[in-house]
Chain A
Amino acid sequence: AQSVTQLGSHVSVSEGALVLLRCNYSSSVPPYLFWYVQYPNQGLQLLLKYTSAATLVKGINGFEAEFKKSETSFHLTKPSAHMSDAAEYFCAVSEGLVGSQGNLIFGKGTKLSVKP
């Protein structure tokens, strides 16, 4: 069965500093992995996805994530934080089965605060 662990429910960085949000997964089959962002009182917006192509995945808003099979990790990074990056971020895993109904398992989320 798949599972996702996001280390740190809250992360605080200064504007311009590196953003690193951690995600570790567990999957019995090659996984598909996703990062979503949620702004207050809004739905989730897809940032990026890993679907077994390149291990370094670039997303929107300057974010990227690297799939590391040996570490079962898919950490999200951004070189320089902006105030507008303050939001909650969710990592999710999907079983890599052809024809499955696409259910995702979500982590509990990490709230990112950006200090001026």
Chain B
Amino acid sequence: SQTIHQWPATLVQPVGSPLSLECTVEGTSNPNLYWYRQAAGRGLQLLFYSVGIGQISSEVPQNLSASRPQDRQFILSSKKLLLSDSGFYLCAWTPGRGGSNQPQHFGDGTRLSIL
């Protein structure tokens, strides 16, 4: 069966420090991968999605970047964190070429606090 892993679960970082959050999927090939940020009362905001290695689409301009160095690995990064980057970050996947009737499957998230 397919599983998705995110780490770390929680992270406290000072303003201006770098960031790297990792997400990996097991048990499937060529998944579509997504990064979301969830802020209180604002629902889920799609940050990036990827349909293949090295293919990244950004939904909103921001202080963050994403990379997909391997088929089932999706990384969220920042060179210098801002206070506004605080939030709950979620990674998700769907089967590649599965079409839009496929649900997204979520990891357990990373709680990022910026001090």
**A residues engaging B (CB < 8 A)?**
9, 32, 34, 36, 41-46, 49, 51-52, 90, 94-104, 106-109
A46-B103, A49-B103 given; A90·B51 CB < 8 A: no
**B residues engaging A (CB < 8 A)?**
6, 32, 34, 41-44, 46, 49, 51, 88, 90, 92, 94, 97-109, 111
Nearest residue, chain A, Cβ from B109: A43
| Residue with the highest number of chain B CB atoms closer than 10 Å, among A45, A52, A94, A104 | A104
Nearest CB in chain A: distance from B110 CB, A:
10
Do residues A46 and B105 form an inter-chain contact, with CB atoms below 8 A? yes
Q: Which residues of A contact B101 (CB under 8 A)?
A: 32, 49, 51-52, 94, 96
A9-B41, A90-B44, A107-B43 given; A102·B109 CB < 8 A: no
Nearest residue, chain B, Cβ from A32: B101
CA distance A34 to B88 in the complex (A): 21
A-B contact pairs, 8 of them (CB 8 A): A9-B41, A34-B103, A41-B88, A51-B101, A90-B44, A96-B101, A102-B104, A106-B43
| Total contacts A-B at CB 8 Å | 68
Nearest CB in chain B: distance from A45 CB, A:
7
Nearest 5 CB-CB pairings of A with B: A43-B106, A108-B43, A94-B100, A51-B101, A102-B94
Q: Which residues of A contact B51 (CB under 8 A)?
A: 101
Q: Which residues of B contact A42 (CB under 8 A)?
A: 108-109
Do residues A41 and B111 form an inter-chain contact, with CB atoms below 8 A? yes
CA distance A107 to B43 in the complex (A): 6
Q: Which residues of A contact B49 (CB under 8 A)?
A: 101, 103
Nearest residue, chain A, Cβ from B4: A43
Q: Which residues of B contact A43 (CB under 8 A)?
A: 6, 90, 92, 106-109
CA distance A67 to B113 in the complex (A): 39
Q: Which residues of A contact B46 (CB under 8 A)?
A: 103-104
